Amino acid sequence: MEPIRDAIYHEQLARVARLKADASSDPFLARRLREAAVRHERTARRLRREESAASDGGS
């Protein structure tokens, strides 16, 4: 996959994890899901940074 598509994929994973956390009645599970969402968001931001650096440096 291309990095931009990977970034979108990780953003979607984060969104789903947050939705599941909001719907969960278990506070421990909700916290773990929110932590996973943060990890996915960080990965998406890293992939976008790498993509923009590659496109800027490659020109």
Across the chain, which has 59 residues, the per-10-residue mean pLDDT values are 81 98 98 98 94 77
What length is written for the chain?
Answer: 59
pLDDT of residue 52: 87
pLDDT of residue 5: 82
Q: Which two tokens stand for residue 16?
A: 């789903």
pLDDT of residue 39: 98
CA–CA dist 39, 18 (Å, integer): 12
pLDDT of residue 58: 60
Q: Which amino acid is at 8?
A: I
CB neighbour class for 50 (10 Å; exposed up to 12, middle 13-18, buried from 19): middle
pLDDT of residue 3: 64
CA–CA dist 50, 36 (Å, integer): 21
Place of tokens 């939705």: 19
